[in-house]
Amino acid sequence: DVKVTQSSRYLVKRTGEKVFLECVQDMDHENMFWYRQDPGLGLRLIYFSYDVKMKEKGDIPEGYSVSREKKERFSLILESASTNQTSMYLCASSYFYRTGEDGYTFGSGTRLTVV
Amino acid sequence: SQQGEEDPQALSIQEGENATMNCSYKTSINNLQWYRQNSGRGLVHLILIRSNEREKHSGRLRVTLDTSKKSSSLLITASRAADTASYFCARTGANNLFFGTGTRLTVIP
């Protein structure tokens, strides 16, 4: 089975800290994505990447950066965590540049709380 | 917003009944997908319907697509308590997905 693994299920960080959220997929997918999910707002795309060292801004990139040094790993970085970044963060990956029949495969999510 | 909108926001039914969820979107699509999310977990891909298809089945799931109305529906037949989850439609953009806000389905045993 395709697996997308997010390094932490729950994280608590202090305001101003630099936070790294890691995501690893084991199926050689080209595309990787970071979403955040908030009640009433659904899933919003933060950043995505379609190749190593490539990144594209999504709908809400402010306050975030990403890194993709290896094909299987896509990291989301909160440069200086703030309380409004408390959220559920979901990583996803897919084979195709244009989504094919497989759809996206999601990780289990990281619930981040910034205090 | 490029997101879709699911309707209703919440749905509660008895086990064995059918559940219908609707999704509307604003722009043209290549395909539309439905996902399921159990509480506090990641999303699971259920089914994809292409813009040139009108109906698709997968087990107890039936998806319809009306591109003239920019809408889709997901029907779950003979619901089970284990179907309790949130369901999202997702519209395919140029190279990523735009998700709706979801329908929370509760199936009462």
Q: What is the Cα–Cα distance from B24 to B6, expressed in whole angstroms?
A: 7
How do the domains of chain B map onto residue ranges?
5-108
In order of their start, the domains of chain A are: 4-114 (2.60.40.10)
Mean pLDDT, chain A, rounded, equals 92
- State the smallest CA–CA distance between residue B48 and chain A in angstroms: 6
- B74-100 pLDDT tens trace: 999 999 999 999 999 998 766 678 888
- B40-84 pLDDT tens trace: 889 999 999 999 999 999 999 999 999 999 999 999 999 999 999
Q: What is the Cα–Cα distance from A61 to A46, expressed in whole angstroms?
A: 5
| pLDDT greater at residue B15 or residue B1 | B15
pLDDT of residue A101: 63
CB atoms within 10 A of CB A20: 12
Q: Could you tell me the pLDDT band of residue A2, with boundaries at 50, 70 and 90? A: low
Which tokens sit at A35?
């979403």
Contact (CB<8Å) A99/B88? no
Q: What is the Cα–Cα distance from B81 to B85, expressed in whole angstroms?
A: 9
Q: What is the Cα–Cα distance from B85 to B89, expressed in whole angstroms?
A: 13
Rg, C-alpha atoms of chain A = 13
Q: Could you tell me the pLDDT band of residue B4, with boundaries at 50, 70 and 90? A: low
- State the smallest CA–CA distance between residue B44 and chain A in angstroms: 7
Q: Which amino acid is at A39?
A: P
Q: What is the Cα–Cα distance from A36 to A86, expressed in whole angstroms?
A: 9
Interface of B with A (CB under 8 A): 2-3, 30-31, 33, 35, 40-45, 48, 88, 90, 92, 94-102
Q: Which amino acid is at B3?
A: Q
Choose the CATH number for B5-108 among 3.90.1640.10, 3.40.50.2300, 2.60.40.10, 3.40.190.10: 2.60.40.10
Share of chain A above pLDDT 90, in %: 77
